Structure 1
Amino acid sequence: MNGFGKIVVFYDSWCPICKNVKINIGRFDWLHLIELQSIRENLEGTINVPLEKLEKEMYCLNKKNNHITVGIEAIASITARLPLFMILWLPIKLSSLLGIGSCIYKYIARTRKIIPVNNCDSSSCVYKKE
């Protein structure tokens, strides 16, 4: 088992990109080190971050030490816990230290599409509540 503790990944279940990331994390989390929590559900007592911030970037909470990582650092936290993706940890960390990773992450986060509540019907929306 790797030396990393369990984390909670807070994702936006209204975002198709985030939902795909959630599915893939679940598929490759063989060590069961990642818990996934939608920011659209009751977060009381799980993380002390305003919803407005959680909507803008991905957050991870290390359950062992309560350390919070955000954005590209959250992606690094996730890859460090997925055996098949551990090889990506170093390039992601380096890109973060150089500022490139953060810029790319923020661009993707800023331009992603989310499906607003009560703004679609069965004929115009593929959103399905989890």
Structure 2
Amino acid sequence: MNHLSSIIVFYDQSCGICRESKRIIEKRDHTGMITWLDIQDPDTLEKYPLLKGRNVQEAMHLLENNTYLYTGFAAVKRIVQLLPAGKWASLLFHLPGADQIGEKLYRVVARNRHTFSGATCDSGTCGIKR
């Protein structure tokens, strides 16, 4: 883990898109700065009480230095900014309308993540509460 900052991403291990995104990001995270924790693991929510009361099923959450909590598209943007190759890609986030488009796209993918990845939910814990 990077000694300058602590980055924890809370993600849905039961989601194929989420697992594949994690795999791709881990390949680019050469310093291992990001720690990934599964929201389906009861210990995760117990260890991080700041997540209680938040619907972690609706969006990925990123905790930086136990201080800053990013959710959804803001978490995606922060991950891109942190990765070495992401410095250039993060310039796209400054284009007019990028946040609005990114938020809408993120919500569609998050809401349909199990359908898009062809996964089924046998545990009953992976559905998004509406």
- Which consecutive residues of structure 2, in runs of 5 or more, have no partner in the other structure? 125-130
Structure 2 CA distance for partners of 1:93 and 1:36, relative to 1, 3 Å:
farther
In structure 2, the partner of 1:112 is 113
TM-score by length of 1: 0.76
What is the letter of the counterpart of residue 116 of structure 1? Answer: C
In structure 2, the partner of 1:9 is 9
What is the letter of the counterpart of residue 12 of structure 1? Answer: D
Structure 2 CA distance for partners of 1:86 and 1:115, relative to 1, 3 Å:
farther
Structure 2 CA distance for partners of 1:78 and 1:117, relative to 1, 3 Å:
same
> Which aligned runs of 4 or more in structure 1 are off by greater than 6 angstroms?
none
Distance of 1:51 and 1:117 partners within structure 2: 24
Question: 2:48 is matched with which residue: 41, 46, 52?
Answer: 46
Q: Deviations over 1:99-120 (max 9, x none)?
A: 111011111111111532358x
Q: How many Å apart are 1:31 and its aligned residue?
A: 2.3
TM-score by length of 2: 0.76
In structure 2, the partner of 1:77 is 78
Q: Is the 8 A contact 1:8 1:36 kept in 2?
A: yes
Percent pairwise identity: 27
Q: How many residues align?
A: 114
